[in-house]
Amino acid sequence: MCNSKFGSIPNKLSIKQHLELALVGFTFIRYMKPEGYSSAVPVYLVRCSQHGRYLEKPSGYTGYFVCTSCLEETQILRSRKNVMPHLS
């Protein structure tokens, strides 16, 4: 859970990072070039209320973060209940 293509979550966070994580829900960690990427990407530590902390890069044009575990659970729920997706 702690390791991903973006590496492992740092043990020590600065006060600023702790605050951002608590207030905004994500904080910048570092730039890195994951395998399969042509250039370096900004990596953020993101807080999910369901699954805890994970490392992710901003997605899409608006730079939002998607928790992969939440996404998978949503897809599983939809397929189980055969519910029409409600995408905002």
- Whose Cβ is closer to Zn ion: residue 12's or residue 86's? 86
Partners of residue 33 on adjacent β-strands: none
Q: How far is the CB of 38 from Zn ion (least distance, A)?
A: 28
DSSP H helices in the chain: 15-23, 68-81
- Closest approach of Zn ion to the CB of residue 64, in Å: 13
CB of 40 to Zn ion, least distance (A): 25
Residue ranges in contact with Zn ion by CB under 5 A: 48, 50-51, 67, 69-70
Residue 9 CA from chain centroid, whole number:
11
3-state class of 84 per DSSP?
A: coil
Closest to Zn ion by CB, 37 vs 72, is: 72
Measured CA to CA, the distance from residue 76 to residue 79 in angstroms comes to 5
Which is closer to Zn ion, CB of 20 or CB of 54? 54
